[in-house]
Structure 1
Amino acid sequence: MRFLARFVALAACFLALPATAQVIEANVAGRKPVPSVTDKENLWLLDLSTGGRVTIWLRPDVAPLMVERVKTLTRQHFYDGLSFHRVIDGFMAQGGDPKGDGTGGSTLPNVKAEFGYLPHVRGAVSAARADAEDSANSQFFIVFQPRLQLDKKYTVFGRVIDGMQYVDAIERGEPPSNPTRIVHAYIAADNPPAYANLPAPAPVSLGAPVTLPGTGKPAGKAVPKRANAPAK
């Protein structure tokens, strides 16, 4: 009973912690300081074609090489216009491939694996790679639902802290028939413009009506014959 009482008290203390304290581990000996969630140099912004801005908190304390790669490519406008080419419901959305089929990357060298302690929980952003552990480059995936079996196998370098509803709305498919695209990617420290909804597509003009020769009747008014019409 004494053990149970202590366990209940400990659980109550944990639940009373602020949300950030429950998600972020405290700094411990041997680990680099955790960057602030308000540090704009470590906030990655993705404006999606399906609407909304996603804010990703980058973690250079855990994956400095991959974070630096993402920052470099973002500032080169590499991600602008790229699609989420592999999106599996209940699993993840993968993007960052200029070829759009999962085989492409940037012209920069591959990034060494940084398998840290961050888990593949909902909203985790991790580096996609080929079979070789040190083959990450530009591709990444955002986790819909926890996949802890990926821990220590893929490099988690960030987490969505705002706009997860827009991630949930990414078009599904392998590949999707109408893939969601990254309209623009920014690092918040570069003072990007405020998010603005994409303009609605211009209505398609059908042009003037076409008249059938010798009839004076618009072509669009012709009534097709009915095949296999039921008997009256």
Structure 2
Amino acid sequence: MNRNSLIAAIVVIAAIIVGLVISRNYRKTLSTGKITQATPTAGESGTLQQPLKTKPQILISTSKGDFTIELRPDVAPKTVTNFLAKFNSGYCDNLTWHRIEDWVVQGCDPAGNGNGGQSNLPTETSGESFVVGSVGVARKDFPKEVSNDSQFFIVKKDSQFLNGEYTYFGRVVSGMDTVNKLSVGNRILSTTILSK
């Protein structure tokens, strides 16, 4: 056997071994359902990055004043990724607060009546309690596993009946007095990402 034939045989054997290892790992992933790839998150320009390790803060300017919310990617990563992209793109700008009750304010509905947005975001329940200032995601009564992709609410009173039923994804860290002043038709003027 000449030298070139020996090298070619070694390359073929190495390729077969590599193929077997890759195939085995792929079958193992399929059988366990465990994928080791990181969950992507939205970056400033809408590009995907590694999962968030911080609690981003968002300044929400309204026609009644400003308030700041802190997002919780540790309890609702898909929801935080979705809303960071919405806030970054200006999606909520000039939309109204369409629902105001003694215990809750709700807004960022493109239809302005509680029927807008898409119901395509998975509901991410957690052990977090809906206390004053908690931020959650609106959804229809059925199916409970799917939430709205744009409408969010802030509770003005402790609302434990929401626990485990709705996605909790943040809290108001300053400006709760502004939240309490909101009335139907007041506008979200802008949303600014302060920190990521």
For normalisation by structure 1, the TM-score amounts to 0.59
8 Å Cα contact 1:122-1:145 kept in structure 2: yes
Q: Is the 8 A contact 1:127 1:156 kept in 2?
A: yes
Larger Rg: 1
Taking structure 1 as reference, are residues 59 and 127 closer, same or farther at Cα in structure 2, changes over 3 Å only?
Answer: same
Indicate yes or no: 2:69 matched with 1:56.
yes
Say whether residues 1:146 and 2:152 are aligned partners: no
Residue aligning to 2:47? none
Please, which of 171, 185, 188 is the counterpart of residue 191 of structure 2? 185
Q: Note the alpha carbon deviations across 1:116-138, whole angstroms, 9 max, x for none.
A: 11111000000001122213211
Work out whether 1:112 is the aligned partner of 2:112.
no
Count of residues in Structure 1 that have an aligned counterpart in Structure 2: 143
Q: Which amino acid aligns with 1:68?
A: T
The answer as to whether partners of 2:58 and 2:195 remain within 8 angstroms in 1 is no
2:168 aligned to which of 130, 133, 156: 156
Q: Deviations over 1:184-226 (max 9, x none)?
A: 0111138xxxxxxxxxxxxxxxxxxxxxxxxxxxxxxxxxxxx
Query: More strand by proportion, 1 or 2?
Result: 2
After TM superposition, the runs of 4+ consecutive aligned structure 1 residues lying more than 2 A away are: none
For residues 75-122 of structure 1, the C-alpha deviation after alignment (integer angstroms, 9 at most, x for no partner) is 111010011000001x1000010110000015xx71111001111100
Amino acid at match of 1:76: S
d(CA) in 1 for partners of 2:147, 2:178: 28
Partner Cα separation in structure 2 for residue 189 and residue 61 of structure 1: 16
Alpha-carbon deviation of 1:167?
Answer: 0.3
Range 58-67 or range 129-138, more displaced: 129-138
> Secondary structure of 1:149's match?
helix
| Counterpart residue number, 2:96 | 83
1:129 paired with 2:139, answer yes
Unaligned runs of 5+ in 1: 1-33, 191-232
**Correspondence for 2:104 among 92, 95, 113:** 92
Counterpart amino acid of residue 159 in structure 2: R
TM-score by length of 2: 0.69
Contact 1:95 1:139 in 2 (8 A): yes
SS in 2 for 1:135: strand
The answer as to whether partners of 2:137 and 2:147 remain within 8 angstroms in 1 is no
Q: Which runs of 5+ in 2 are unaligned?
A: 1-51
Q: CA RMSD, aligned part only?
A: 1.7
